[in-house]
Amino acid sequence: MTRISNISLLALGMVCLYIHPLYDSDPFLSCPTQAFLIQSPRAVPIAFGVDLATGSYTTLSPDMGTTKVNGVGFNYHDNYMYGWDYGSATLSQIGNDYQVNPLTVTNLIGKSFYVGDVSVSENAWYGYRSRFGLYRIDLTDPSSTLVMESVASSGFMGNPSITDMAFHPTNSYIYTVDNNGYLIKINPANGDTTILNQVLNESELGFNFVFGAQYFDANGNLYLSNNGNGYIYRVTINDVLSTAIFYAYGPSSNSNDGARCALAEIEVGDSIDFGDAPDSYGSSLDNAGARHSITSLYLGTEIDAEADAYIFPLSDDISDGNDDDDGISFPTGIEIGETALIVVNVTGTGGYLNAWLDMDMDGTFEDGEQIVQGLSVSPGATNLSIDIPMWALAGDTWARFRISSSPNIGATGGVSDGEVEDYLLTIIESGVTSTSYPDGSNFTSFAFEDLYPALGDFDMNDVLMNVRITEYVKYGMVIRLKIEGELAAMGANYRNGFAIQLPGIDLSSIKSDSVTLTMDSVLSSEQVLEDDQTNAVLIISDNLWDIIQPGENGCHFFRTEDGCGTSQRPTWTLIVPFIYPVAEEDMPDMPYDPFIFARPGTYHGDVLGQVAGEHPGRKFEVHLKNKNPTDTFEELIFGQADDASNASLEVLFQTLNGIPWALEIPMNWKHPKEGISLLQAYPQFFGHASDSTGQTNSQWYLESNADSSSIFND
């Protein structure tokens, strides 16, 4: 017998040689479509099979025969899985019986690996260990003695904090999302590491995440399973700007690791129910739509299966003649400011109901539009009373009802049981009156001179905006505003924005996520309600040249020069719903406070440069005479050049003679031509402006009182 000395044993331990005969385990028959999830809740690894289409899962093995398995990847080359076996402290092979088979590996680093995957393009397992680096083990002959090779140190890689990684199915790179939500790309040949962009943000989601299981599908989508709550996200890979969306609800565990054949597509079985609302609500599989594995729990008495959502108007009911959306009824209808009765019929036990109603009709279900949240419902009929808020809009819209054994689910994503039913509904409005300014069919005009605080050419055509305001009132409360506008002229060299301040109205009174602005019938994605203002400030545009271009025939401006007439006027409509309706008597007088401001980042004259900076941005505003500016205005501008403002006397935005830099004209007004002073075009204006009562020449703006050669005609 050969004796091994203690020194020899120590040397053998330093290289961590583990010798174990191969266990006779069969490979998987093919590239499986399910994802493998391995968890160790009580120091016993359990193997689950996860259907990524719905997040449903089954137990494949309650005990994998060791203490813990991590860093697992599926090997497309031999149809086995390989992962780090904590019990044997070596890499192991896992066959279709889900039992670990320790392999003989030399040159180990003496540390466990919890991050790993198997390459698709080469027959090799890669593992990453924090503070050590990236390592490779060739798997060409698992029955032989394998060698762990160092690829790159963690320092060279930038010390990424990652908890799993996955090989892309086609480009041979490793991708991973770290615990701060950043997508990372790793070259397995040399460890070159590139941080791409942040795809998920903990503060926005409202919970922490550790993505212990990460895997690809055949289309190059990366899936992330969050340990804490089991939520599954799908990342669309783009090396310029990748995006992530919530995808499904899966199992959670403090110890999570995943593997999947990256060349397998996500398959939808024959027992999944989808919604059928328009896909902006999240209905199709590609859009991570609402979907449920069909079980004994559902709404109504009918449920059918689809391979994907049949989007309205081609819903599955219309396509197959089977109306399975039979679980919800609406006896009273849906009326703004009233209580609606909804009857829910349930088949099965242990269900929780969640429901949404798109009350601002923007094509999405938002958190503030959830009308039922995690409500336990019994088999049979349940009556619900739903309060429809004052800020809801009248018209056709969609509602979504979801039942599941999971109490807290969102409007999209896959769930392991239950049903989703979508309904096209009509929200009605009664008892609502409206008041329009100046009236329901005409506009008032606002003219601005942007050379303030200097009079300059005083042509008052730098911005000419036609505006109509409508207040909607129910039970003496203003529930929403509609403000319509037309850009009638623009003779400004400077870049200006246009906004409306609501004096005395706190921005918290407005339902900010339901404010909508359309420009020439196209919905704007820009933020309208400005942050950090005492009064609500609504930004229509921060650069009006974005919505208009100068005319043809050598015109430099819009509708201010001879030969530059056009009937085209850019239009916009702003809908402002109040989450807390405002009493009529507490609303500011119409037309509120329209104003222009300097586009951020642009030059706006030397006078302003001395007190507000070369690029004054929101520090520069021009308001109607004696209107208070917003919180962002630089009050050092008062008193500069021709301005005689005195805030303590509430004399604002006017000269010593009372001439303002902003005017309201109660009609569709013919403005001065480019470079011609208003005082020349309308000679009666000076007497009107100089009279603080406004009684002198009160109709100075009529064309009959104008110098016809000085005003612009289409």
Task: Report the Cα 394 to chain-centroid distance in Å.
Answer: 25
pLDDT digits (tens, 9 = 90+) for 535-585: 999 999 999 998 886 555 678 899 999 888 887 889 999 999 999 999 999
609 confidence band (pLDDT: 50, 70, 90): confident
Write out the two tokens for 261: 């054949």
Predicted confidence (pLDDT) at residue 670 exceeds the cutoff of 60? yes
* 462 phi-psi bin (left φ>0, alpha ψ -120 to 50, beta other): alpha
Predicted confidence (pLDDT) at residue 22 exceeds the cutoff of 70? no
Average pLDDT, the chain: 91
Q: Which residues contact 50 (CB under 8 A, 6 or more apart)?
A: 34, 35, 36, 37, 56, 57, 225, 232, 250, 251, 258
Nearest to 415 by CA among 429, 405, 426, 428: 405
**Single-letter code of the amino acid located at 98:** Y
For the chain, give every domain's residue range. 6-259, 272-428, 433-710
**Separation between Cα atoms, residue 418 and residue 388, nearest integer Å:** 26
Average the pLDDT over 72-77 and give the result. Answer: 96
Amino acid 3: pLDDT: 33
Q: Does domain 272-428 have CATH number 1.10.10.10?
A: no
Amino acid 551: pLDDT: 54
The pTM of the full predicted model, rounded to 2 decimals, is 0.80
Q: Which residues contact 126 (CB under 8 A, 6 or more apart)?
A: 73, 116, 117, 118, 119, 134, 135, 136, 137, 151, 165, 167, 174, 188
Amino acid 309: pLDDT: 86
Amino acid 43: pLDDT: 77
pLDDT digits (tens, 9 = 90+) for 355-409: 999 999 999 999 999 999 999 999 999 999 999 999 999 999 999 999 999 999 9
Predicted confidence (pLDDT) at residue 16 exceeds the cutoff of 70? no
Nearest to 464 by CA among 200, 195, 670: 670
* CATH number for the domain running over 6-259: 2.120.10
pLDDT digits (tens, 9 = 90+) for 113-157: 999 999 999 999 999 999 999 999 999 999 999 999 999 999 999
Average the pLDDT over 423-447 and give the result. Answer: 94
Angle at 77 between CA 71 and CA 78, to 5 degrees: 85
19 confidence band (pLDDT: 50, 70, 90): very low
Predicted confidence (pLDDT) at residue 6 exceeds the cutoff of 50? no
Predicted confidence (pLDDT) at residue 320 exceeds the cutoff of 60? no
Lowest mean pLDDT among 252-256, 270-274, 417-421: 252-256
**Separation between Cα atoms, residue 437 and residue 446, nearest integer Å:** 13
Amino acid 44: pLDDT: 87
Cα-flanking dihedrals φ and ψ of residue 144, to 5°? Answer: -90, 180
**Single-letter code of the amino acid located at 384:** L
pLDDT digits (tens, 9 = 90+) for 622-669: 999 999 999 999 999 999 999 999 999 999 999 999 999 999 999 989
Nearest to 707 by CA among 459, 489, 347: 459
Tell me how far CA of residue 557 lies from CA of 39, 76, 587, in angstroms.
Answer: 67, 65, 37
Amino acid 318: pLDDT: 53
